[in-house]
Amino acid sequence: MKKRQRVKKNEDFQKVFKNGKSFANRQFVVYFLMKEGQTEFRIGLSVSKKLGNAVTRNQIKRYIRQSIHELKDELKPNIDYVIIARQPAATMDFHDVKQSLQHVLRIAKVLKKT
């Protein structure tokens, strides 16, 4: 994922939380907000310290980023996404993370192909 495809600033996170919609399953919460005039999607990640040590949290973030990378052609382009990992995500492997993310994105109806 390129740097321009990331939500980094706190104010951008807050806009998505305040004005966006949210969908969840047991492992992830996905907030998304439509942005007019934006040509590609942006992703923000949030993994709490409650989920484990830095190694575990970084592993979860790597799994989420790789899953999004593999799903990038299916994601709608003019949206900011914020993905929050919940406790069960700490014990999942990559394939489970990808499957769970696909599930919650399908619920949110933000995938082009369903």
What digits encode the pLDDT tens for the residues 48-79? Answer: 999 999 999 999 999 999 999 998 888 888 89
The Cα–Cα gap between 38 and 41 comes to 7
**pLDDT for res 50:** 94
Query: Per CATH, the architecture of 3-108 is what?
Result: 2-Layer Sandwich (3.30)
- pTM equals 0.90
Locate 70 and state its tokens. 């593999």
Q: Are 85 and 26 in contact (CB under 8 A)?
A: no
pLDDT tens digits, one per residue of 11-29: 999 999 999 999 999 999 9
Domain extents in the chain: 3-108
